[in-house]
Structure 1
């Protein structure tokens, strides 16, 4: 519609009084403001389009399985066909491509979230990684390092005292043999030491050692009525020194 075809309506609530015949001057003509054509609605802006790029299409994620579609009296194929037809009517020159998202049977969560993950939607993948439960930690094993005088449990250094390490080392170097309490006392403590244990209190030292070995406490096995023995497992590693241990004599 052009400006030439727009009629100017005169308000009915206020009529223009005609000029009197006796007036010396004619009434001034009614001034009207020019009428402009109505503006076309502004196009909706697409969010998150970086500068220097242009939108070339869009993806519509639809969360609906065959059971829900069937309950509504349709199926996925019919829905896709209807959407493609609507797009062709709105934009005849547009191209369309449809993909069906497949997921394992029984996959939990909302249908649309499952679809977004199956079709590798970046935003859904990032959110999924944030809430994805951590895998249970894998046991790395225990390493008895005789050269450095330390024990690591799953790559963490165990807080053994010097005497506790000596006790473990004594058993490790005599693998396969049960060591009685008297031998442990005489070999690891001197007569002049203030804290020399007896055959009953040596059990306290062994118990403290085992508590610091955590899940690997079973490597120090109690032989009832006799003493203690180092029990090597598949997840136990021994790093020997290049020189003979001073406790071997």
Structure 2
């Protein structure tokens, strides 16, 4: 299998925010297993939310790779049940670790300062708790999240943010928006 043409840094389309990558691959016609393996690999790429189109010279083009089966989220944060599951296995978190994770996940992509986290998670804005308390709890939380530790990102000099991911399901209070769980006013 020899790639003929690839683009390593595809341009992002201004309106849609997506990129198109074109790869041309030569596959010997006498090796059908190689074509099946390549199609399976493209199916894995399609699971990530992208679209994959396959065309071959002399063979009718597939409009799109077969749709991937519906995946269950790898990380589930169940607020009413006060439970965190990684690949279906419960993770033992302390009350503050759970509250910290749930609060950050309620507002994915939003940066929270240590002072805000002390106020909204610890309910202690003026008790004199040092900001390092937040750092220690974040470190312990990341250790327990194992492969998902990168979801709790540090914003240097500011605080922390929960990274958006398709592998995460946030289950808030029934009938309420995530913002209704605990009101955040800035």
TM-score by length of 2: 0.53
Pairing 1:16-27 to 2, within 5 Å after superposition: none
1:228 equivalent in alignment to 2:164: no
Residues 147 and 226 (structure 1), Cα distance of their counterparts in 2 relative to 1, 3 Å cut: same
Instruction: Give the Å deviation of 1:248.
Output: 1.7
Instruction: Give the Å deviation of 1:160.
Output: 0.6
TM-score by length of 1: 0.40
1:153 to 86, 109, 118: 86
Structure 1: stretches of 5+ with no match in the other structure: 1-138
Computing the radius of gyration from Cα coordinates, the structure with the larger value is: 1
Residues 173 and 192 (structure 1), Cα distance of their counterparts in 2 relative to 1, 3 Å cut: closer
Check conservation: 1:167, 1:184, Cα contact below 8 A.
yes
Normalized per residue, the structure richer in strand is 2
In structure 2, what is the Cα distance between the partners aligned to 1:193 and 1:226? 19
Structure 2: stretches of 5+ with no match in the other structure: 1-71
Instruction: Give the Å deviation of 1:147.
Output: 2.2
**Residues 78-133 of structure 1: per-residue CA shift (max 9 Å, x gap):** xxxxxxxxxxxxxxxxxxxxxxxxxxxxxxxxxxxxxxxxxxxxxxxxxxxxxxxx
Match of 2:16 in 1: none
Match of 2:105 in 1: 172
Pairing 1:203-222 to 2, within 5 Å after superposition: 203-222=135-154
In structure 1, what is the Cα distance between the partners aligned to 2:147 and 2:124? 34
In structure 1, what is the Cα distance between the partners aligned to 2:125 and 2:113? 21
Residues 193 and 151 (structure 1), Cα distance of their counterparts in 2 relative to 1, 3 Å cut: farther
In structure 2, what is the Cα distance between the partners aligned to 1:248 and 1:192? 15
Residues 192 and 143 (structure 1), Cα distance of their counterparts in 2 relative to 1, 3 Å cut: closer
Residues 187 and 157 (structure 1), Cα distance of their counterparts in 2 relative to 1, 3 Å cut: same
